[in-house]
Structure 1
């Protein structure tokens, strides 16, 4: 039992209109869509983004929503990855003629997504792989704010967590523009950077998105993990 093609598709930050034309065409035709969620009681936000496309289709695809918990416990992660593999393979077997699968992820598949781990555990049953890029949350944030992330020779760095990360601290010191994803430790960031010009986007692209602009010291720790902070190292206007 083999797939003729596996797609890794970035569906953007949450706004269906930011989906690429290529992603749209593939999702209109693919046999199965795999979309991760963080727990059994939560919906996949990536799936929510493409619901309109699924509703447009004449033939409904199989949709598999495996749970990939947000944890650093490797044993727990291995358990859920194996469970996801079994679930997808079972659906492939049950659906006669299932030849193409799209694994969808918010943002871009090549940036802090679960797609490449998924590819690793499925490479033995896949003949061909294609990755379709997507719009990132920080691109969407900068567009809404009408503020460039970087110009000229400015250095841009992306940081996930600064806790106990000496490399991240050094990178922050040497960068002109900083992007913090899944924002944590806001107070520590303020201490390190002072009152620099900043943008925070929460659930950017979704109907309940929130955007905040101003000096870093004026902004509060976001209450949702889908949060993006962009800091420019230049004097506050």
Structure 2
């Protein structure tokens, strides 16, 4: 019986992969990966590592979660080191905990390897801080994927007084979300940013207002992170350096890390 590593691949830029995730991927026998995982990260695998795509995409035929669980169980019993690779962080709307409970139920050992989450990394690449003295001392991260009538449907009224709202997986429902927030008491003039394909070389940011999204939502394609709040207004000043100079030098170059010192505990 093998061990399953539930690993966060980060938000897109391969250089945001953690060192521990890097080392786990280099030794994996099989990698079950999601749709938003950067292909450059997959290229880190050893030559005989098997890749299994288990991604989900809205509106397209994809594997149900039960089938993904079955595949995890199958490979955990057949291989020594199995990696379940997820975009962002496995515990942020990633079903990492659900899959871990399934493995525990079947006696399969597992380990979590946290990843850099898109909820803060993507806005940061766009020059939008989630907190800022005098503008935002609180923020909330919420899924925009749930549908009306669902038992755990998001109560947008609960976020009326939160300074900054970050919405993941909310592109499809952006107009409804904006309308509900305005109905809850948020200003229609409040700035909103849509950040498409964040942290990649195809990143694009659209800035508008909550009222505009409610009446005439801008064309935006997923994956995109939505940021609502006054901090969006800082983008114009903060993004110029980050999106031009910093990424010209560092973005997306995944180099071999230096050897570890001889002392200290191993990472894995």
TM over 0.5: yes
C-alpha separation in 2, matches of 1:92 and 1:141: 33
Partner of 2:203: 209
For 2:81 and 2:68, locate their aligned partners in 1 and report how far apart those are by CA, in whole Å. Answer: 17
- 1:13-52 aligned at under 5 Å gives the runs 13-36=11-34, 44-46=35-37, 48-52=39-43
Secondary structure, counterpart of 2:166 in structure 1: strand
**Other structure's SS at 2:89 match:** coil
1:168 paired to 2:155: yes
DSSP 3-state at the match of 2:137: coil
The SS at the match of 1:225 is: coil
Establish whether residue 181 from structure 1 lines up as the match of residue 179 from structure 2. no
1:140-159 pair list within 5 angstroms: 140-151=121-132, 154-159=137-142
* Deviation per residue, 1:3-39 (Å, 9 max, x gap): 2x32111111111111111111111112221113xxx
Match in the other structure for 2:247:
none
Change (3 A) 1:178 1:49: farther
User: What secondary structure sits across from 2:111 in the alignment?
Assistant: strand
* TM-score after normalising by structure 2: 0.68
Residue in structure 2 matched with residue 118 of structure 1 by the alignment: 99
Paired position in structure 2 for 1:227: 224
Unaligned stretches of 5+ residues in structure 1: 37-43
Equivalent pairs, count: 216
TM superposition shift of 1:47 = 5.5
Q: Does structure 1 retain, via aligned residues, the 8 Å contact 2:131–2:231? A: no
| Equivalent of residue 105 in structure 1, options 81, 86, 106 | 86
Match of 1:141, SS state, is helix
RMSD: 3.2
Cα offsets for 1:58-109 (capped at 9, x unmatched):
x3312222355659xxxx99x833433443444456x5xx212111111111
1:117-176: CA deviations, max 9, x gaps?
Answer: 22222222423x221111222322222222210135722112223864786222220201
- 1:203–1:210: 8 Å Cα contact kept in structure 2? yes
Match of 1:151, SS? coil
Q: Which moved more, 1:183-192 or 1:216-225?
A: 216-225
Partner of 2:189, secondary structure, is coil
Uncovered stretches (5+) of structure 2, i.e. residues with no partner = 235-268
What residue is the counterpart of 1:65 in the other structure? Answer: 53
Q: Distance in 2 between matches of 1:163 and 1:221?
A: 21
Q: Distance in 1 between matches of 2:123 and 2:143?
A: 18
